[in-house]
Amino acid sequence: MNYKIFLIILSFAGSKLLHAQEHWVFKTESEGIKVYNNILSAAKVKPIKVECTFNATASQLVAVLLDIKHYTDWVYKTKLTTLIKQVSPAELYYYAEIDMPWPAQNRDFAAHITVSQNRDTKVVTVDAPSVVGLVPEKDNIFRIHESKGKWVITPVGNDRVNVTYFLQIDPGGAAPAWLINIFIAEGPLQSFKKLKLQVQKSAYKSISLPFIHN
């Protein structure tokens, strides 16, 4: 086969695969919060995407995301959180335990949060993948070993930001996938509703983070 033709075919196949991996299907919407599933994913629990616009600055939203001790105020079914290590103002490790609906066991995990910003576009990315080995596993709580959370915060002017949140998780254990899928779809929707209120609290309302350019 001609080498150039082979490269064209390979490139086309790669773009089709990428498109398939990013095939989001609308699931539900409430109060301007849209939730999507990636139905083409081979994962047992389908990845989700959430989109919403906030009346807030990027600094406000990032401040909430870094305020681990108050996750129980707004993150769906979060029972407790503990800061493990503060690496820098824009990087930390934390532990969380999540209440799961019966008959599933509670889940817990440790995660690593890092915040970065594109200085040209002002887009802020908050990565929050799970990490293993930081906290000993506990009896009667199932440890989540594989989870990838990501926030993309895009300023759109007049103290408003568009937010896109991605979550891919393997909750493990014996809970059926349909139950976990419902839990994961409902969780982000309820979390975003509370996040809209949380970001307006006085602790965050006028905050300006030195590593974020609004």
pLDDT in tens, 102-136: 777 899 999 999 999 999 999 999 999 999 999 99
Structure tokens at 83: 């800061």
> How many other CB atoms are found less than 10 A from the CB of residue 11?
10
CA separation for the pair 28, 35 (Å, rounded): 5
Query: What was the pLDDT predicted at 98?
Result: 92
The topology under which CATH files domain 21-205 is Alpha-D-Glucose-1,6-Bisphosphate; Chain A, domain 4 (3.30.530)
- Fill in the amino acid letter for 29: E
pLDDT in tens, 124-175: 999 999 999 999 999 989 999 999 999 999 999 889 999 999 999 887 776 7
Q: How confident is the model at residue 22 (pLDDT cuts 50, 70, 90)?
A: low
Q: Following CA atoms 95, 96, 102, 104 in sequence, which dihedral angle do they give, to the nearest 10 degrees? A: -30
The burial of 9, by beta-carbon neighbours within 10 Å (0-12 exposed, 13-18 middle, 19 or more buried), is given as exposed
pLDDT in tens, 40-96: 777 777 899 999 999 999 999 999 999 999 999 999 999 999 999 999 999 999 999
The burial of 39, by beta-carbon neighbours within 10 Å (0-12 exposed, 13-18 middle, 19 or more buried), is given as exposed
